[in-house]
Amino acid sequence: MVSSVSDWVKDHRNEAVKLLQELIRIPSPSGHEKACGEKVAEAMRVAGFDVARVDALGDAMGVLKGSGGGRSLLMNGHIDHVPTADMIEPYSGRLMDGSPFGSPGEVVYGRAACDMKAGVAAMVMAGAYLRDEGILLKGDYKVAAVAQEEVGGAGTMSTIERDQFLADVVLIGEATNMDLCLGHRGSMKMSVVIRGRSCHASAPERGINALYKATDLVTIIRNDLIPHIPADPLYGKSSLAITMIEVKPGAFNVVPEECRFYIDCRNTPNYPAEQLYSDLQSLIKSQSMKDPEFNAGVLPTPLINGQKSFTGFYTDPKKFPVVKEAENVIENVLGKMPTRKTWTFATDGRLYSWLGIPVIGFGPGDERSAHTAIEHVKVDDFLKTIEVYASLAQKVCA
């Protein structure tokens, strides 16, 4: 007799937590995911997946084959992570009380716990339940544990282009705090170069300090551009941050002749790349009129050379019934209707949505802990996510 998903997860609690801890304990910064991918594939084989393999990038792909005639479901999660920075024992996978992090109860701590090895572990464990309990699906249940998501999505792109690893429905397991995400804003990067004149730092009056000129423009961007970027009723407000700055020649005793700073803008459809480019050019022109020594330019970006100017996506509930199906599944498992929302950050979901595939998002963890020194995931949320994934597979794949 088939056990309920809830009972099965309770019986396999220790196994599930152990898998998550093992994944966290394998360092997998972007570009070095192979060992973690092999571990995911090994867990898939143990779980009984019909296909479990790893490609050259370290992407692990697994399939539970259906009998045919049903929709297929692809679960996508990334196994790379950002640098550990000042985390204490980032690869410990420690089981602890989350109260110090503002998350009372048992949590698993470590880099990528939230972003997003808990989601990947839940996908594998959901497959283990389906196979262990002999659940017969018509459509295929697929898992793609991908590399290099944090640096542009090369892993997911490889699984799409080289392997045609696709499905009728895609779920992205990024952290949603147990709500349902239907999309996110776009992401665009630009940089501004300011040119001055170098000289010996002992006589700065002989040169034009490009760093000083750059800080003037940064102040203008903060005061005159960022507050006026438009909001969108669906995606919310665009955000803009200056994230890096560098100078040339970069010597302690030389006034810099060039300064470059980098902009990360998470945009909405009503603020495309062309508009940001135009706004920056206008600010530069205005500053040049006030300061004859000011010389700057915006570097060309691929987003303004014939590619997509809006790189986000949204899965319309009116168009795709899987949204309501997912809501019903989540409500049945959690006992409450999830909130529909959009992620603040970008995901690989956009790469599938651009192909016309409906993409939904559900995963354990609060995005506010991702990329931080207190990254963690609640054990209860992780276990409930396994229930949601297994139940959704039965719903979608019939």
263, two tokens: 């902009």
Inform me whether the pLDDT recorded for 118 exceeds 60. Answer: yes
Whether this model's pTM surpasses 0.85: yes
Inform me whether the pLDDT recorded for 302 exceeds 60. Answer: no
Tell me the fold of 188-304. Answer: Alpha-Beta Plaits (3.30.70)
Which of these, 100, 102, 97, 95, lies nearest to 25 by C-alpha position?
95
How many other C-beta atoms lie within 10 A of the C-beta of residue 95?
Answer: 14
Q: How do residues 138-148 score in pLDDT, each as one tens digit? A: 999 999 999 99
103, 376 contact by CB (below 8 A): yes
Give residue limits of the domains in the chain. 5-184+312-396, 188-304
Report CA dihedral (354, 243, 287, 196) to the nearest 10 degrees: -120
Q: Which amino acid, 383?
A: L
Q: 5-184+312-396 architecture in CATH?
A: 3-Layer(aba) Sandwich (3.40)
92, 25 contact by CB (below 8 A): yes
304, two tokens: 């303004």
Task: In whole angstroms, give the CA distance from residue 31 to residue 253.
Answer: 36
Length of the chain: 398
Task: In whole angstroms, give the CA distance from residue 173 to residue 100.
Answer: 25
Q: What is the DSSP string of 33-93?
A: -HHHHHHHHHHHHHHT-SEEEE-TT--EEEEE---SSS--EEEEEE--B---TT-SSTT--
Inform me whether the pLDDT recorded for 305 exceeds 50. Answer: no
Write down the mean pLDDT value for the chain. Answer: 95
Distances from the Cα of 353 to the Cαs of 136, 198, 213, 357, in angstroms? 28, 48, 42, 5
Distances from the Cα of 27 to the Cαs of 52, 61, 267, 286, in angstroms? 21, 19, 32, 48
pLDDT band at 308 (very low <50, low <70, confident <90, very high): low
Inform me whether the pLDDT recorded for 398 exceeds 90. Answer: no
54 alpha-carbon distance from chain centroid: 21
Domains 5-184+312-396 and 188-304 equal at CATH topology level: no
pLDDT cut 70: percent of the chain above it: 97
Task: In whole angstroms, give the CA distance from residue 175 to residue 367.
Answer: 6
152 DSSP assignment = T
297, 352 contact by CB (below 8 A): no
Distances from the Cα of 206 to the Cαs of 111, 146, 273, 295, 397, in angstroms? 48, 53, 38, 17, 72
196, two tokens: 């001055």
Q: What is the DSSP string of 254-294?
A: EE-SEEEEEEEEE--TTS-HHHHHHHHHHHHHHHHHH-TT-
Q: What is the CA radius of gyration of the chain?
A: 24
Inform me whether the pLDDT recorded for 301 exceeds 80. Answer: no
Inform me whether the pLDDT recorded for 390 exceeds 90. Answer: yes
- What 3-state class would DSSP assign to 242? strand
pLDDT band at 395 (very low <50, low <70, confident <90, very high): very high
Which of these, 212, 198, 211, 296, lies nearest to 249 by C-alpha position?
198
Task: In whole angstroms, give the CA distance from residue 164 to residue 167.
Answer: 9
- Mean pLDDT, rounded, for 49-59: 98
pLDDT band at 287 (very low <50, low <70, confident <90, very high): very high
Task: In whole angstroms, give the CA distance from residue 42 to residue 27.
Answer: 17
Task: In whole angstroms, give the CA distance from residue 98 to residue 76.
Answer: 27
Cα three-residue angle 271-277-280, rounded to 5 degrees: 105
12, two tokens: 């396999």
